[in-house]
Amino acid sequence: MTAHYILKRLLAFGVLTALLVPVGAGAEFYSYEDRSGTIHFVDDPSKIPKEYRQKKQVRKDEYDDLPAEERALMLENERQKREKAQRREAEQQEQLRLALSKKERVSALERLRKALITPVIISGRQIFVPVKLVNGSAETEARLLLDTGASSTVITTEVAARLNIEQSDDVKVGVVGGKVLKARKTVLSHMQVGPVQRANQEVVIIGQRGGGFGDGLLGMSFLAGLKYTIDYKKQTINWMP
């Protein structure tokens, strides 16, 4: 079967569809196929060439045999049914779209909620926070004791070694009890706690001498301006956007 033949059949089918659209009065349609494979439609059998009259097919509208008023009523009912079905399908599509949108919003809110929760380790009243520290291409993870009384973030010499810190300034820092210790100070590329990331963070490097503050202190140089709550039961920090 050639593409030309298929195209002619499709065009003929389009003509038939147009002819079968209900009109005001009932009508019969006749079709026949000529030698070239073209299907023709006529509304009068006398228009069919004699050689094809034996091959004709009669096509009638569904309600052609009904009285005019009844036929009109049936056609109107059919139209209303089609419109109702179309409205129902449109409503179902809209409901599906809204359901998917709601599901996506709920999913996004759940992801945001989880992102704003950071697990911590709480021992007594001490809160050890997982912190990512980055110095150029070097980075490391550390657990720093959350200390709102410390003006600067403090890391131990062991953490500093993992960060390959080569340049630093000598400073003196005061500690609890009035002691003054020698230390070093530098600026890290950035620090991150849960969803909170801050660049160019100044840290003080000090050798740990007891006190059990883990890898250092997470001070106000990082925490300033942040809003959060601490859930001691679940051992989490809940950040507020």
| Residue 80 covered by a domain | no
Given 45, 60, 75, which residue is the final one in a domain?
A: 60
Q: Binning pLDDT at 50, 70 and 90, where does residue 196 land?
A: very high
168 in any annotated domain:
yes
Residue 105: the pLDDT is 80
pLDDT tens per residue, range 147-157: 998 889 999 99
Helix intervals (H) in the chain: 3-19, 68-115, 157-162, 220-223
DSSP 80-126: HHHHHHHHHHHHHHHHHHHHHHHHHHHHHHHHHHHHTEEE-EEETTE
Domain end, chosen from 60, 83, 108, is at 60
| Top-confidence residue, 230 or 49 | 230
pLDDT at 237: 94
Domain co-membership, 126 together with 235? yes
Question: Of 33, 60, 87, which one is at a domain's C-terminal end?
Answer: 60
Asked if residue 217 lies in contact with residue 150, where contact means CB atoms within 8 angstroms, the answer is yes
In the predicted model, is pLDDT for residue 172 greater than 50?
Answer: yes
Q: Evaluate whether residue 101 is within a structural domain.
A: no
Residue 217 has pLDDT above 80, yes or no: yes
Tell me which of 67 and 128 has the higher pLDDT.
128
Region 28-48 average pLDDT: 75
Residue 190 contacts residue 199 (beta carbons within 8 Å): yes
Residues 139 and 216 in one domain: yes
Question: CA–CA separation, 167 vs 215, rounded Å?
Answer: 20
User: Taking all residues of the chain, what is their mean pLDDT, rounded to a whole number?
Assistant: 79
Are 220 and 136 contained in the same domain? yes
pLDDT bracket for residue 214 (50, 70, 90): confident
pTM score of the predicted model: 0.55
Which is more confidently placed, 229 or 66? 229
Q: What value does the mean pLDDT take over residues 209-216?
A: 69
Q: Are the C-beta atoms of 129 and 154 separated by less than 8 Å?
A: no
Residue 106 lies in a domain: no
199 and 125 fall within a common domain: yes
Query: Which residues form the domain of 197?
Result: 117-239
Q: For residues 179 and 230, which has the higher predicted lDDT (pLDDT)?
A: 230
Q: Does residue 129 share a domain with residue 55? A: no
Q: How far apart are CA 134 and CA 120, in angstroms?
A: 20
Q: How many domains does the chain have?
A: 2
- The enclosing domain of 144 has a CATH number of 2.40.70.10
Alpha helices in 116-168 (DSSP H): 157-162
What is the structure's pLDDT at 8?
Answer: 46
User: Would you give the end-to-end CA distance of the chain in angstroms?
Assistant: 68
